[in-house]
Amino acid sequence: MDMSGTPVIKNSEIKVKYRSDQIAFNLVFALIFAVLMAISANSFMYLPFTPIPITLQVLTVLLSGLFLGSKWALASQSLYVLMGMMGLPVFSGFKNAAVFLAGPTVGYVIGFLAAAFTVGYIYENSVRKTTGSLNNLLICLFSCTAGVTIIHLFGFIHLFGYFFGITGAYSVLSALSKTWKLGTQPFLVIDFLKIITAVIIININKIKNEKYKNK
């Protein structure tokens, strides 16, 4: 309280309140993206020749990294996995963890965790060092491409193990070939379109935010 009797609010108190509000805000959006992962997992379509479904999860993972940043994007994906481990039918095909863990798509979900963090890390650290809409566009494109590559890498490794180790019906070379044909090749164009969609969404959001600030 100052000489006039007016209470004095310390800067440290303001910082603590701001920090707590920011954490609560990020936690809410991490939870929202976890729910969106469950919804996008069950917005799926199967191609007739592969056990891997087409879902909107890759797009959701990319957007979580771009909007939330590395740490909170990872938190959102962890919440999604936790929901499944608790028995909720959040994995593709309305599966819970008990069914999901025995299937061929486990690697992709592990990849979601790594990809969300990677996309957020690359984007948040690179955007700070660059200016201009073109540079931002390229950084966003690179971040999302790195994320999709990681998802496919984890998915490929597990799917290869699923074909080769679990079924025991394939040689190494035939398992590698089958994994490529069923787990990667059919989704390259689809996932490229998801990358473009994520880039468009984040840049439209950035343009709107800049217009709002300039008002």
Domains of the chain in start order, with CATH, are 32-205 (1.10.1760.20)
Cβ count near 142 (within 10 Å): 16
Give residue 57's pLDDT.
97
Q: Angle 43-81-114 (CA atoms, 0-180°, nearest 5)?
A: 95
Scan for tokens 């890390």, then name that residue: 121
Give residue 153's pLDDT.
98
* Digit-coded pLDDT (tens) for 96-144: 888 898 889 999 999 999 999 999 999 999 877 776 678 888 999 999 9
For residues 107 and 152, the answer to whether their CB atoms sit within 8 Å is no
pLDDT at residue 64 greater than cutoff 60:
yes
Give residue 36's pLDDT.
97
Any long-range contacts for 38-46 (C-beta under 8 Å, 24+ apart)? 38/80, 38/83, 38/88, 38/90, 41/90, 41/91, 41/92, 42/89, 42/90, 42/92, 42/93, 42/94, 44/92, 44/93
